[in-house]
Structure 1
């Protein structure tokens, strides 16, 4: 693979004197992509999987994007908005990137998006689903290869409404994305809410929350607990014996990426996702096979998001016949979403957010008693986010 890959520590590379943005030359024959995400600690698994999916797509594209040699500069936001602003500043002013990809957390996206869009640099969120970017802050230079924050919990709300559960306890992280999750869930679930708790991001001791839930006696728990938070929650939920009294339904917690860490604690839980990992779609089969071969672990929905971001850039540049300054042609091509995605086909709404399917998945025991994920049903087909009518873009 001919790709140039630069790994940069976020702060070490950001101590230079203030820089003034200089536009990339129209003669550029190299595509520069700034990939920014948080990598440290347990929460870093999301950024790592998005990065690895992106780089796998580059392998499949022969190390080029749109037929041009690709240079990928990776910046670590450390999950912090202020560090994210520094990384974005470097990407734009020093590295003169043509595209920025990545970002797991909505608060980081909210901190950095203006820098990219003001400089007319294409920004593709390969995870963060901050709803404002789909509504009043939609922009011709912003795309998603993931989802709006509300959409996956909307699918879960619809699934639980269809199950006609008597009551559900709501558990989510106390930051913007966590609040979006509850908004989305409640848009479709109309049953009784037995209680709700917004916990501190990074929580690992669930004794107080589980005590409240036990007292509320719900039929089920709906939880947004990504990364290590979800792992500790599931294990303590089972240890407290609550798995024998109620079901645990999650979003952005259980996935093939985290399943090994959950182990048997995940068995019996349910979640929703835009990715049907069981699909026999040739692009999905190839993604899963080559991801396992390259990284020695199963691919995940987060890897799919990174993978598709690279395919979108490739599509855009090909649409502009390799002219990196022809932003209108790049944008028009990306809007077609004409890529071979592992998720199957999707289209873009007016706000550049995917219109796509959502699936209900269950964790079951395989023949050896180990956890595996199976797709149970399609909850939504061609689902649109709830904010696109607030977007003023016309195309």
Structure 2
């Protein structure tokens, strides 16, 4: 073989290697994009894609390809799509997932394949403690943690007697347990509703009969819209105040409007949080989508920024699992929520806020932060987590 021929082969090999290295990092985006919970998933996707669009199709300077999939809030559908993303599409990262029943179904198939799963909403307790994985990171919260802040909020509001309401699935069960952990008053009753039921007349009648000081509700998505409207129509909103999490938020407020005025919520996020990352995010989200960002959009934007920070640190190399995990754990980005760091189980240490529904400057119902409940909230299960 001549020297010129050998040089040609070497050059061709280098060029091919460079092309392979430059291939986009494939990210599966799995969420609920149809049915009663679709508004939550759409906000998740829009928040994530805003970060991608801000980098012109890249994250952390690395080209990415986003594969968008709808789980329809069905665990079996979620597993089917997760396997498709792993086996056919060969994704390196999966993100999204709104509902805990879907997260419980897909968590093990994804993480056992040593593919990174970056959740931006659902945080069921079983995967926070003993079922944790080195391949799972969250930019949201453990489900209980979300409601522990609400229990403390109810204490500060002077609520002595409360009635609890939630849908009958993993996140609803976690909601009840989380609220009870910090609440110091009397639980006069609790009721689980069917997931996505449209009529809450029985629940409302039961609350009226129990006559608590307040109710505590966790009804995400369309469930929250239906319950809140029916509760207001029953004339109870002013008689028995509603404290809630993920019932009245940025995803449901547009459908509720003035019906939700006066409601008090506990939340990890509000559009008016005064930090540079959030101001930039809110302005960009409003400009691109023409609406206020919800906590689902904010948490998903954080997920994209987290992934971007890890890709930047590793130069886009996700195959070195230890290095990429270390880059994720560093959390080298500015969260729109304020302070953000990872606990030992790779769930966030972050603030929770009191967020009220008020009449905004434009006369429309708006979410307004009214102080911090916990500065640096840690979930209650990290001690049970033993990473492999």
TM-score in terms of structure 2 length: 0.92
1:168 paired with 2:162, answer yes
Cα displacement string for residues 330-381 of structure 1 (whole angstroms, at most 9, x for unaligned residues): 1111111111221123100000000000001111223564311111110001
Cα displacement string for residues 41-96 of structure 1 (whole angstroms, at most 9, x for unaligned residues): 23111111011000001122332123221100011111111111110011001110
Q: CA deviation at 1:141?
A: 0.5
Q: Which residue of 1 aligns with 2:152?
A: 158
Please give the residue correspondences for 1:42-61 in structure 2 after superposition, counting only pairs within 5 Å: 42-61=36-55
1:125 paired with 2:119, answer yes
Which runs of 5 or more structure 1 residues have no equivalent in the other structure?
Answer: 1-24
The alignment of Structure 1 onto Structure 2 pairs a total of residues equal to 370
Q: Which of 104, 126, 141 is the aligned partner of 1:147?
A: 141
Moved more, 119-128 or 368-377: 368-377
Contact map agreement 1:26 1:323 (CA 8 A) in 2: no
Q: Which residue of 1 aligns with 2:246?
A: 252
Please give the residue correspondences for 1:312-323 in structure 2 after superposition, counting only pairs within 5 Å: 312-323=306-317
Q: CA deviation at 1:163?
A: 2.2
Moved more, 27-36 or 155-164: 27-36
SS in 2 for 1:364: strand
Contact map agreement 1:28 1:324 (CA 8 A) in 2: no
1:217 paired with 2:246, answer no
Q: Distance in 1 between matches of 2:24 and 2:159?
A: 55
Contact map agreement 2:313 2:327 (CA 8 A) in 1: yes
Q: Which residue of 1 aligns with 2:322?
A: 328
SS in 1 for 2:188: strand
Q: Which residue of 2 aligns with 1:9?
A: none
Q: Which residue of 2 aligns with 1:106?
A: 100
Higher helix share: 2
Q: Which of 375, 379, 386 is the aligned partner of 2:373?
A: 379
Contact map agreement 2:339 2:376 (CA 8 A) in 1: no
Q: Supply the RMSD in Å over aligned alpha carbons.
A: 1.5
Contact map agreement 2:100 2:122 (CA 8 A) in 1: yes
Q: Which residue of 2 aligns with 1:358?
A: 352
Q: Distance in 1 between matches of 2:196 and 2:50?
A: 30
Q: Distance in 1 between matches of 2:78 and 2:230?
A: 33
Q: Distance in 1 between matches of 2:326 and 2:51?
A: 21
SS in 2 for 1:235: helix
Cα distance, 1:311–1:367 mapped onto 2, change above 3 Å:
closer
Cα displacement string for residues 162-185 of structure 1 (whole angstroms, at most 9, x for unaligned residues): 222120010111111100001000
Please give the residue correspondences for 1:71-90 in structure 2 after superposition, counting only pairs within 5 Å: 71-90=65-84
Q: Which residue of 1 aligns with 2:3?
A: none
Contact map agreement 1:269 1:363 (CA 8 A) in 2: yes
Q: CA deviation at 1:316?
A: 1.3
Q: Distance in 2 between matches of 1:73 and 1:237?
A: 39
Whichever of the two has the greater Rg, that structure is 2
Q: Distance in 1 between matches of 2:130 and 2:313?
A: 28
TM-score in terms of structure 1 length: 0.91
Q: CA deviation at 1:293?
A: 1.1
Q: Distance in 2 between matches of 1:367 and 1:61?
A: 33
Please give the residue correspondences for 1:213-292 in structure 2 after superposition, counting only pairs within 5 Å: 213-292=207-286
Which runs of 5 or more structure 2 residues have no equivalent in the other structure?
Answer: 1-18
Q: Distance in 2 between matches of 1:30 and 1:244?
A: 54
Q: CA deviation at 1:280?
A: 2.6
SS in 1 for 2:271: coil
Contact map agreement 1:26 1:324 (CA 8 A) in 2: no
Q: Which of 29, 34, 40 is the aligned partner of 1:35?
A: 29
Contact map agreement 2:36 2:196 (CA 8 A) in 1: no
Q: Which residue of 2 aligns with 1:97?
A: 91
1:70 paired with 2:64, answer yes
Contact map agreement 1:29 1:68 (CA 8 A) in 2: no
SS in 2 for 1:181: helix
Cα displacement string for residues 112-147 of structure 1 (whole angstroms, at most 9, x for unaligned residues): 111111211000111111111110111111000111
SS in 2 for 1:345: coil
Contact map agreement 2:218 2:247 (CA 8 A) in 1: yes
Q: Distance in 2 between matches of 1:337 and 1:155?
A: 23
